[in-house]
Amino acid sequence: MYRPYTCKVTDTAFLFTAGNTDDAPRSDRPDLLSALAADLRAISYTVDGVADLLGESASAALSRDQLVPALLASEQLAESHEPDVRALAVVVRLWLLAVPQAVADVDAALPGIRAQGLTDLGLATVESGIVRVKADLRPYGWDANADGTGGANLWVASDLAAHQQPGVLRHDHVLGIGRASTTLVQTTFRQHTKRALDLGTGCGIQTFHLLHHCEHVTATDISARALAFTRFNLLLNAKELELDPNNLEDRVSLRLGSLLDPVAGEQFGLVVSNPPFVITPRMGGESPSDQFTYRDGGLPGDEIVASLVQSIAGVLEPGGTAQMLGNWEVTAGADWKDRPMAWLQNSGLDVWFIQREQVSPEQYAETWLQDASQNREGGHYKDSYAAYLDDFASRNAEGIGFGMIWLRRPGDGHGPIISRFEEISYPIEQPIGPHLGAAVERADWVAANPVPEAHVVVAEDVTEERHQRPGALHPGVILLRQGAGLRRTNLLSTELAGFASACDGQLSVKQIASALVSLLGNDEDFDEAGFREALFRDVTNLVLDGFLLPDPARTSA
């Protein structure tokens, strides 16, 4: 029997304490958790270990949720005469491919926990000598920093995905490692923080990363099953995450509740959230149990994202930041940025929205109906598809944007200095988080320093391109391109190109401008004041976008 989860009232927050609930792995058996971790580590059930076992092509296909190449590759490997290869193949087939395995094969592959231990933890069932998994358990990790610190090899339990089981997903489905969660991981700017909030933790992916640079993490979710999975994952990986299993609350607090309710009255230096932002038609008489809790916020349109970005300042300490993903509706005839700008008008926050893609209502319906396998039920699929289109039409929405959101509460005595709404749909460098952080630091520097007095240099990743028609004396197009980060391209005037070519840190911006004035000032119509003003404005933008950088040898930070 599972012990039901218990909640303790702490003011308005609910502290999730026991961690066990129906149909989720149990986390009150430290002996079995330790045995499972030791077994998985012994057979190299890691991201690299699985890739080496299956080969490059099958591994790439598996990352796209295409199972057949991995099924074919693993069939023969499961019969290998090499015990380690055979053991890893059995585990890969059991969990990643959801292929039932014989008890004897599972016992041989995982001798510490064995099939019985998996059933005791709620990870599998055994019937007639065959082991079938009830939950997904897959390796997850990231590389260490250049100094060898910060890397991790973990295992993450979640519900079986659509490609691993028949039928429509359960409405309280606990999502595993998906594209959105990894996008947020790559987007987050990581710096030391005392208290962080993982809002809508799911199976705990964001919390794992936060623990590497934050002293304490509060993880919330509206789903008790999600918190049970998170607790299980934290304790399974306690050694790698440097957690004390007997005092988990020293580093992590699990809270049950909706959005910001579990942390009312508290403040954090960093908030990350992959919220239930999917815009899903609301039906008459619908109850919360009819919604997919991992993605549906229960509000019409994009109101879940709007309400969250408008209320997030209440849980940010001065100087604290929030990084989120979200959807927003694009009204017919409007610019995509109009709606998010309206959300945050006069908010007093620093704001940066980056729209990464925009799709039609039809594309949006197809994506999310397939996500929950609702396309497997013909009649229901047609009705649900029509409901999506009617819902968007009721608000005159002709598109749905998706992107990254960065918000900051200015420090005491400071007003907002960043307000950016931009569309970047082309490939960018990943992880992008460090580059976003560097851009914020440059904006802070520009706000605190007079650019004309600064000494600047061209960033290392920047190259110049010149294009001209055959026989032309001068280029018609001059471009600066970034090879890293957001990989921006900037169209330059001849004068601005000349300025950039002189940026070696030796002369100040004002001195280079004076040199250009001496070259261009012979024209009686030349407006020196206007030229300097426009040049300083353009140089400031080049600094903000990272084409030019303050010279650390000549300019104070």
Query: What tens digit of pLDDT does each residue of 453-479 get?
Result: 999 999 999 999 999 999 888 888 999
Q: Given 134, 155, 178, which residue is the final one in a domain? A: 134
pLDDT band at 316 (very low <50, low <70, confident <90, very high): very high
pLDDT band at 155 (very low <50, low <70, confident <90, very high): very high
Give the pLDDT mean for 333-342: 96
More confident residue, 257 or 143: 257
Give the pLDDT mean for 482-495: 96
Structure tokens at 213: 């640079």
In a domain, 110, yes or no: yes
In a domain, 278, yes or no: no
In a domain, 145, yes or no: no
Strands 419-423 and 397-408: unpaired
Please report, to the nearest 10 degrees, the dihedral formed by the alpha carbons of residues 442, 446, 447, 449 taken in order.
Answer: 130
Which amino acid type is present at position 507?
A: L
pLDDT tens per residue across span 359-368: 999 999 988 8
Span of 247-261, 368-382, 437-451 with lowest mean pLDDT:
368-382
* pLDDT reported for residue 13: 43
pLDDT band at 375 (very low <50, low <70, confident <90, very high): low
- CA separation for the pair 307, 488 (Å, rounded): 31
Which amino acid type is present at position 169?
A: L
Residue 374 has pLDDT above 90, yes or no: no
* pLDDT reported for residue 280: 83
Q: Given 117, 134, 151, which residue is the final one in a domain? A: 134
Residue 355 has pLDDT above 90, yes or no: yes
* pLDDT reported for residue 294: 58
pLDDT band at 422 (very low <50, low <70, confident <90, very high): very high
pLDDT band at 297 (very low <50, low <70, confident <90, very high): low
* pLDDT reported for residue 167: 66
Give the pLDDT mean for 489-495: 95
- Which of the given ranges, 6-10, 62-66, 200-204, 413-417, has the highest pLDDT on average? 200-204
Give the pLDDT mean for 380-385: 84
Residue 3 has pLDDT above 50, yes or no: no
pLDDT band at 520 (very low <50, low <70, confident <90, very high): confident
Structure tokens at 58: 């099958």
Task: Give the mean pLDDT of the chain.
Answer: 89
Element (H, E) at 308: helix 303-311
Residue 105 has pLDDT above 80, yes or no: yes
- CA separation for the pair 274, 294 (Å, rounded): 10
- CA separation for the pair 552, 505 (Å, rounded): 9
* pLDDT reported for residue 1: 26
Partners of 220 in the β-ladder: 199, 255
Structure tokens at 279: 């815009």
In a domain, 161, yes or no: no
- CA separation for the pair 129, 442 (Å, rounded): 62
In a domain, 398, yes or no: no
* pLDDT reported for residue 10: 38
- Number of folded domains that form the chain: 2
pLDDT tens per residue across span 431-446: 999 999 999 999 999 9
Domain range for 66: 26-134
In a domain, 517, yes or no: yes
SS3 for 408-438 is ECCCCCCCCCCEEEEECCCCCCCCCHHHHHH
Give the pLDDT mean for 191-210: 96
* pLDDT reported for residue 91: 97
Spatial CA neighbour of 29 closest among 216, 316, 236, 339: 236
In a domain, 123, yes or no: yes
Spatial CA neighbour of 226 closest among 178, 175, 191: 175
Give the pLDDT mean for 517-541: 90
Partners of 140 in the β-ladder: 154
Angle between helices 56-63 and 47-54 (to 10 degrees): 120
Strands 136-142 and 101-102: unpaired
In a domain, 291, yes or no: no
Give the pLDDT mean for 100-124: 97
Q: What percent of the chain has pLDDT over 90?
A: 72
- CA separation for the pair 90, 92 (Å, rounded): 6
Q: What is the pTM of this model?
A: 0.90
- CA separation for the pair 225, 23 (Å, rounded): 8
User: 267: number of CA atoms within 13 Å, CB side?
Assistant: 11
Contacts of 539 (CB under 8 A, 6+ apart): 451, 456, 496, 499, 509, 548
Q: Given 105, 134, 163, which residue is the final one in a domain? A: 134
Sign of CA dihedral 33, 34, 38, 39: negative
- The residue behind tokens 């909030």 is 197
* pLDDT reported for residue 380: 76
Residue 406 has pLDDT above 50, yes or no: yes
More confident residue, 346 or 297: 346
Residue 139 has pLDDT above 80, yes or no: yes
* pLDDT reported for residue 147: 60
pLDDT band at 291 (very low <50, low <70, confident <90, very high): low
